[in-house]
């Protein structure tokens, strides 16, 4: 049976999950003008160890956003249909920037928690050595 996760382990799991989220946000922004592109979504779920919650978090498998993609009128575009429309992406830059800021702040909060845990462990070891 696994021992309970330390504060540093929990913070590290949060940083890993938020880094996955940031990667998806950057991919979405990079493909904002790619015809037919569907926005990638990631949610978080609790980490489990033999059916028991560890307290950590992990990124779920990537899902594609099923919201309607915009139809763009451009008859000269190579992908345009008979009516002159082609299917664009469903990425909204404002939403992606907000997601990126939220993920970045969450990552930084977990990093501060990790550093604080490391400092506390170091201080404890110093006290034990005395």
Give the pLDDT confidence of 43-77 residue by residue, as tens digits. 999 888 887 888 888 999 999 999 999 999 999 99
Asked if residue 117 lies in contact with residue 8, where contact means CB atoms within 8 angstroms, the answer is: yes
Asked if residue 20 lies in contact with residue 9, where contact means CB atoms within 8 angstroms, the answer is: no
| CA nearest neighbour of 33 among 79, 66, 64 | 79
Q: What is the three-class DSSP state of 73? A: strand
pTM: 0.80
pLDDT over threshold 50, residue 1:
no
Q: What is the three-class DSSP state of 107? A: helix
């Amino acid at each position: 049976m696994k021992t309970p996760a330390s504060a540093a382990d929990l913070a590290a799991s949060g940083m890993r999950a938020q880094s996955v989220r940031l990667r998806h946000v950057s991919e979405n922004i990079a493909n904002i003008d790619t015809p037919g592109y569907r926005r990638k979504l990631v949610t978080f779920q609790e980490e489990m160890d033999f059916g028991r919650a560890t307290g950590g978090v992990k990124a779920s498998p990537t899902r594609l956003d099923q919201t309607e993609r915009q139809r763009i009128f451009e008859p000269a575009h190579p992908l345009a249909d008979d009516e002159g429309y082609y299917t664009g992406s469903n990425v909204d830059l404002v939403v992606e920037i907000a997601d990126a800021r939220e993920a970045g702040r969450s990552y930084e909060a977990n990093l501060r928690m990790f550093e604080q845990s490391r400092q506390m462990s170091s201080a404890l070891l110093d006290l034990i050595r005395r």
